[in-house]
Structure 1
């Protein structure tokens, strides 16, 4: 990269960092482009040039969080541990990343932010989940008679639950209970 490209990337990173901070504190609706520009130390004009709109900034924030999630999850999948432990830890990583942005007081009531975030993370998340399910079937940890489609639909419902729990303030406990149910079922085998 030349100096111009390096400086441009530094500005984009500053914008994303500032936007994540402000969205967590105030939610999407109560944060303006001007607020993000001031917090990042980058001009509003540059912000529009890089991202086009506030929605463009949210898309990039979602992308950054999901790339972090994918990196952590892929490293975990390489580890030589039981599949149930991999699954539990991947679910926890995904939930933690979502909670970072959506579980704070300013963000929790913001339907626009939640909607934009979900739209921009679902495709990436589904690829990760698909890879995890295929690994589970290959290792014999997920029964081969259960279709990928059914598992993806179940996890989609789980995503809806996560969003509602973030609003209730009991997210961490509820996710721990849900992970227990997903891994061991209603009967509770371990």
Structure 2
């Protein structure tokens, strides 16, 4: 990468970081390119040159975060941690994703942006599902996940949770305690309501 390309990437990254900061204060639909440009100390023309539109900027910002989270999940699985350690790392990573992306922004990207939804679906099918299957199989091999429940049943449960993302995001937003809510959801997934660990 030459100096011009490196500088362009630095500017794009600064713009996307600015978007993330502004999303903590403003709904995605209320963000304006003029406000993003002013806060990122770039011109509106620069944003349009690099991204084409506000929607494309939001999409790329979200997609970068999702890919980064998937990369982190893959790294956690590759670390050969115990199931409990891996879940703790995943929980921390999930919290960071939700801190970076307010629930309203996630809903907009996943449910209203068809291009982004297609990207997420492809990433989920091609990378996330194989990683989760590997995670489950390795957990079973180490005796940390019961053999009484098939991998297919666990995957079906995860698919069900994925399909209920919109109401989950609403509950998350209303909970008022992001960390506790995410912790409770992870606990319920792994230990059920009996709480047996």
Indicate whether the TM-score tops 0.5: yes
TM-score, normalised by the number of residues in structure 1? 0.80
Cα displacement (A) at 1:72: 2.4
Q: Is the 8 A contact 2:37 2:43 kept in 1?
A: yes
Cα displacement (A) at 1:125: 4.9
- Give the paired residue count: 186
Alignment partner, residue 152 of structure 1: 158
Match of 2:172 among 146, 152, 166: 166
Alignment partner, residue 43 of structure 2: 43
CA offset digits 1:137-163 (Å, max 9, x no partner): 243126462416513323314633441
Matches of 1:2 and 1:52, distance apart in 2: 23
1:25 partner SS: coil
For structure 1, the 5+ residue unaligned runs are none
Pairwise CA RMSD of aligned residues? 2.8
CA offset digits 1:63-106 (Å, max 9, x no partner): 22223322322222122321243134324412430232215xxx
Matches of 1:139 and 1:174, distance apart in 2: 24
Alignment partner, residue 24 of structure 1: 24
Matches of 2:80 and 2:110, distance apart in 1: 35
Matches of 2:46 and 2:195, distance apart in 1: 54
C-alpha change, 1:137 and 1:111, in structure 2 (3 Å) is: closer
Matches of 1:69 and 1:90, distance apart in 2: 9
Match of 2:185 among 172, 178, 181: 178
| Matched ranges for 1:36-115 at <5 A | 36-102=36-102, 107=104, 112=108, 115=111
C-alpha change, 1:40 and 1:23, in structure 2 (3 Å) is: same
Bigger RCO of structures 1 and 2 (CA < 8 A, at least 6 apart): 1
Cα displacement (A) at 1:124: 3.3
C-alpha change, 1:4 and 1:11, in structure 2 (3 Å) is: same
Matches of 1:158 and 1:181, distance apart in 2: 15
Matches of 2:50 and 2:98, distance apart in 1: 24
Cα displacement (A) at 1:5: 0.9
Matches of 2:3 and 2:177, distance apart in 1: 46
For structure 2, the 5+ residue unaligned runs are none
2:24 partner SS: helix
Cα displacement (A) at 1:111: 5.7
Matches of 2:112 and 2:7, distance apart in 1: 28
